[in-house]
């Protein structure tokens, strides 16, 4: 890639929350963005419209990240439209909370399909596609360290993402492609806030020394660094959680 070529990113889960913020931040950095969404076309179209209103380049495409054919079509459409793929951010994910003894195994299978299989499918096609100088960024969670009750199945799925990320970084030796995971702490998105009462939200917001919830913008800053100038950070799980231990 020459210095004057526009970088191109694919962002999954880009219709809302952290994914939407990441898509907009990368576009503000001058990156052309393909935004993948599971089902909320109206929200995805709004993110694309916002990017274009600000002078950026973007389009949205529906894709089930656990379906290899659909993900391949997403990568093909991106390359056809923008010429190549440099950055892949897999922000798509689902979270269902319950104690181990109460968790419906159908819920476990659903999280496994999206969080593990989906991340694996996207990462494997990214590993075949991303050109030198590029970056693959997965999404983990700080709960893998915190071991909060009720989060076992979700944390287990993200622990698998950590393992995949660290191994893939080594498998891409010689390709000049970095592979890292971002592990947010409690962040003010619907994924985190839904189903929690005010007392729980307040308690969790004070678990880090900065005594607030993260914002999607906080996480997008980290992704922007890993997708661009952070070339010497590779094979890492980056905990973006305000110092939560």
Domain assignments of the chain as residue spans, ordered by start: 8-186+216-236
Residue 154 annotated among the catalytic residues of the structure: yes
Tokens of 48: 């694309």
Q: Which residues contact 74 (CB under 8 A, 6 or more apart)?
A: 10, 34, 36, 61, 63
At residue 196, the pLDDT reads 72
Q: Compute the average pLDDT of residues 223-231.
A: 97
- Claim: this prediction has a pTM higher than 0.75: yes
| pLDDT at 194 > cutoff 90 | no
Q: Which pLDDT belongs to residue 200?
A: 78
Q: Which pLDDT band holds residue 195 (cuts at 50, 70, 90)?
A: low
> Which pairs from 191-200 meet CB under 8 Å and 24+ separation?
191/17, 191/93, 191/94, 191/95, 192/95, 195/97
Residue 60, strand partner residues: 35
The predicted pLDDT at position 37 comes to: 97
Residue 2: its pLDDT value, please? 43
Active-site residue identified among 37, 151, 154, 239: 154
Query: Is residue 199 predicted with pLDDT exceeding 90?
Result: no
Mean pLDDT lowest among 42-56, 136-150, 206-220, 228-242: 206-220
* CATH 3.40.980.10 for domain 8-186+216-236: no
pLDDT at 56: 97
C-alpha to C-alpha distance for 171 and 166, rounded to whole angstroms: 9
Position 204 scores a pLDDT of 78
Q: Is residue 81 predicted with pLDDT exceeding 80?
A: yes
Burial class (CB in 10 A: 0-12, 13-18, 19+), 147: exposed
- The pLDDT tens digits of the residues spanning 129-149 come to 999 999 999 999 999 998 889
Residue 42 reports pLDDT greater than 80: yes
Mean pLDDT score across all residues of the chain: 93
Bridge partners (DSSP) of residue 175 are none
Q: Distance of CA 175 to CAs 3, 134, 149, 171, Å?
A: 18, 9, 40, 9
pLDDT at 12 over 60: yes
Instruction: For the chain, give the longest Cα–Cα distance.
Output: 55
Distance in angstroms (rounded) separating the CA atoms of residues 232 and 39? 36
Question: Nearest-CA neighbor of 115 among 93, 141, 97?
Answer: 93
Tens of pLDDT, residue by residue over 208-224, are 888 888 899 999 999 99
Residue 180, helix vs strand vs coil: strand
- What CA–CA distances, in Å, run from 165 to 3, 91, 177, 192? 28, 14, 12, 23
- 81 sits in the region (left: phi over 0; alpha: psi -120 to 50; else beta) called alpha
């Amino acid at each position: 890639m020459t210095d004057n070529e526009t970088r191109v990113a694919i962002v999954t889960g880009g219709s809302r929350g952290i994914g939407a913020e990441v898509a907009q931040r990368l576009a503000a950095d001058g990156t052309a963005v393909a935004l993948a969404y599971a089902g909320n076309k109206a929200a995805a179209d709004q993110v694309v419209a916002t990017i274009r209103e600000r002078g950026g380049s973007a389009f949205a495409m529906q894709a089930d990240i656990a379906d290899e054919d659909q993900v391949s079509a997403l990568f093909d459409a991106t390359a056809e439209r923008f010429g190549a793929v440099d950055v892949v951010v897999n922000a798509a994910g689902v979270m269902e909370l319950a104690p181990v003894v109460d968790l419906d195994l159908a819920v476990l299978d659903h999280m496994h399909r999206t969080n593990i299989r989906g991340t694996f499918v996207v990462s494997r096609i990214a590993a075949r596609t991303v050109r030198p100088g590029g970056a693959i960024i997965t999404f983990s969670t700080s709960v893998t360290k915190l071991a909060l009750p009720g989060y076992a199945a979700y944390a287990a799925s993200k622990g698998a993402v950590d393992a995949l990320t660290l191994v893939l970084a080594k498998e891409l030796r010689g390709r000049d492609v970095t592979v890292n995971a971002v592990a947010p702490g409690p962040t003010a998105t619907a994924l985190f806030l839904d189903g929690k009462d005010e007392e729980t939200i307040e308690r969790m917001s004070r678990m880090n020394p900065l005594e607030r919830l993260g914002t999607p913008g906080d996480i997008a800053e980290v992704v922007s660094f890993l997708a661009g100038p952070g070339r010497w950070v590779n094979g890492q799980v980056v905990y973006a959680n305000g110092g939560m231990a």
